[in-house]
Amino acid sequence: MSQTPLLLARGVEKRYGDVPVLERLDFQVDAGEFVTLVGASGCGKTTLLKMLLGTEQPSRGEFLLEGAPLPDEPGVDRGVVFQRYSVFPHLTALDNMVLAEEFALAPLTARLFGAARRQARERAAANLAEVGLAQAMTRYPYQLSGGMQQRLALAQALTMRPRLLLLDEPFGALDPGIRLEMHALISRLWRERSLTIFMVTHDLREAFTLGTRVWVFDHLRHDPQAPEAFGATITYDLPIAARTKATPDIPPALIKESHA
Ligand SMILES: Nc1ncnc2c1ncn2[C@@H]1O[C@H](COP(=O)(O)OP(=O)(O)OP(=O)(O)O)[C@@H](O)[C@H]1O
């Protein structure tokens, strides 16, 4: 069996212009891990997700996906869900799903025909059913609740069976009860599909409940004369032993950082 980690970061830094945002990122993540990212606003969590997605590039260092340089543009090997989902408003849930597959499989025309289209529709229907949207396939986005839209977003992100699933505060805009339902859904999908997930959240309880590993972002180095002189990095990398714990133990030192 290969010893190559699914994802390796070596000496990654990210600057926007002269401003360092992230520094000293060295980590390895194995297939099947569920990494949650927490930390103060503006310390670069979304920037890390964007680098993994391929919409931003490291200023220094590199990422290796299964030993090969991470492609420097988004691809079907990485799925993403944002806090607010943007869909095509004139397409039903099913047609939005099929379109995601058309973009992936026929990037030039974004059209599938005949048997390929029929199969794409069958897959789309199965994937929607898997996230609990069997009854909502013919609905338009404005007819879906926030939770249902995020279910659709998840189904769409998983359409091409990505190696990495990147979630940027995917449940941040949802009511607490709906959030719990979404926690159950993402946990089930993670287990059943053996996903590798990176999820940014401001909710520490969510981070410790869902993650097998919690990364806390902060500044290791700080110059009071020049607050923007240094980037943030992963200051804690906390393995969560018992993933199925009903009430996760959150280190008291971290409680103050919760925004929830
Ligand atoms: N395209 C950009 N150009 C210049 N600066 C940027 C750009 N994108 C992000 N930044 C800056 O980089 C820093 C990190 O932003 P990022 O969104 O990654 O932080 P975050 O930890 O995800 O924040 P939040 O928790 O509020 O979502 C911020 O200071 C932000 O203003």
Tell me if residue 13 falls in helix, strand or coil: strand
pLDDT at 254 over 90: no
Give the distance (Å) from ligand 1 centre to CA of residue 56: 12
pTM score, two decimals?
0.90
Of 59 and 86, the one with more pLDDT: 59
Determine the distance from the C-alpha atom of residue 32 to the mean position of all C-alpha atoms in its chain, rounded to a whole number: 13
Q: Please state, rounded to an integer, the average pLDDT across all residues of the chain.
A: 89
Give the distance (Å) from ligand 1 centre to CA of residue 44: 6
Pocket test for ligand 1, best of 46, 56, 82 (most atoms within 8 A of CB): 46
pLDDT, tens digit, 9 for 90 and up, residues 164-208: 999 999 999 999 999 999 999 999 999 999 999 999 999 999 999
Q: What is the pLDDT of residue 102?
A: 84
Ligand 1, atom 1, residue with closest C-alpha: 16
Enumerate residues 6+ apart whose C-beta is below 8 A from 38. Answer: 45, 200, 201, 202, 204, 207, 214, 215, 216, 217, 254, 257
242 pLDDT tier (thresholds 50, 70, 90):
low
Domain map of the chain by residue range?
88-144+155-160
pLDDT, tens digit, 9 for 90 and up, residues 31-43: 999 999 999 999 9
Span 113-142, average pLDDT = 92
pLDDT at 248 over 70: no
Q: Is the CB of 47 under 6 A from ligand 1?
A: yes
103 pLDDT tier (thresholds 50, 70, 90):
confident
Tell me if residue 164 falls in helix, strand or coil: strand
Query: Quick one: which of 201, 164, 206, 174 has its CA closest to 78?
Result: 164
Distance CA(239)–CA(211), nearest Å, equals 8
pLDDT at 114 over 90: no
Span 118-126, average pLDDT = 93
Contact status, residue 145 vs residue 152, Cβ threshold 8 Å: no
Half-sphere exposure of 260 (CA within 13 A, CB side): 19
DSSP string across 53-113:
HTSS--SEEEEEETTEEPPSS--TTEEEE-SS----TTS-HHHHHHHHHHHHH-TTT----
The structure tokens listed for 5 are 């980690």
pLDDT > 90 fraction of the chain, expressed in percent and rounded: 73
ipTM over 0.95: yes
